[in-house]
Amino acid sequence: MKKGKIALPELGRRYRRLYTGVVADILDSKGVRAHSLPPAIRPMKDHMKVAGPAFTCLGVQTGDIKSDDTPMLIKMLEAITPHCVVVLSASGDRSSSHWGEIMTLSAKQKGSTGAVVDGGLRDAPFILKLNFPVFTDFYMPASSISRWELKEFQGVTKVREVSIYPGDYVFGDMDGVVVIPQGLTEEVLVKSEKAVQRELKMRQALRKGIPLHEVNKKFGSF
């Protein structure tokens, strides 16, 4: 992964002080339009936030009752890097869960800061006790074994129209998840921080009773 000027722990702290709406606006202004993951991917709890470089995973549905991708799952989980956000695409499979408690424990042990699952999740009560933010599409008790197979990790993963490369920056909150191209991670952070300060001044002006059209003229779009 390309090294930036800001260390990953500090990047995470600063991104988590932001909100996805302002980051999405900055990405739009940079010409990056396909940045937001589908709205069905939600945090398990509204207060949860994820921020970190993407550790990508991709799998597909299988009709083989004898299929068991446990060795591949172990290999993937043991390759997880500190400060990353695991991004798993189930390729549209809705036959089973694709993330659970043991995967969460392993990812947390490796230093991951969260997971975004374009698929199903189980063991929810146990995961909620681990203080590890997970975003998911749906909940499903059924195991993925013999229903779905992990095919690769740390390759290009696509979630609907959003292509996610290893090292792209993933940021999620109550509004959803945005993906920032790796080369723009720090620039988007700094511009978003400035936009947050501008929006703060807009709020203060509105609370003072200044008309919206005047606030808009002075501070710009909202």
Domain of 153, in residue numbers = 8-182
Count of domains forming the chain: 1
Dump pLDDT digits (tens) for 115-160. Answer: 999 999 999 999 999 999 999 999 999 999 999 999 999 999 999 9
Cβ–Cβ < 8 Å for 85, 113: yes
Task: Say if 221 falls within a structural domain.
Answer: no
Task: Say if 97 falls within a structural domain.
Answer: yes
Task: Say if 193 falls within a structural domain.
Answer: no
| Pairwise CA distance, residues 123 & 171, whole Å | 24
Work out the angle at residue 45's Cα, subtended by the Cα atoms of residues 181 and 198, and round it to the nearest 5 degrees: 50
For 191, list phi and psi in degrees, rounded to 5.
-65, -35
CATH number for the domain harbouring residue 148: 3.50.30.40
**Model confidence pTM above 0.85:** yes
pLDDT < 50 positions in the chain = 1-2
Question: Would you tell me how many other CB atoms lie within 10 Å of the CB of residue 200?
Answer: 11
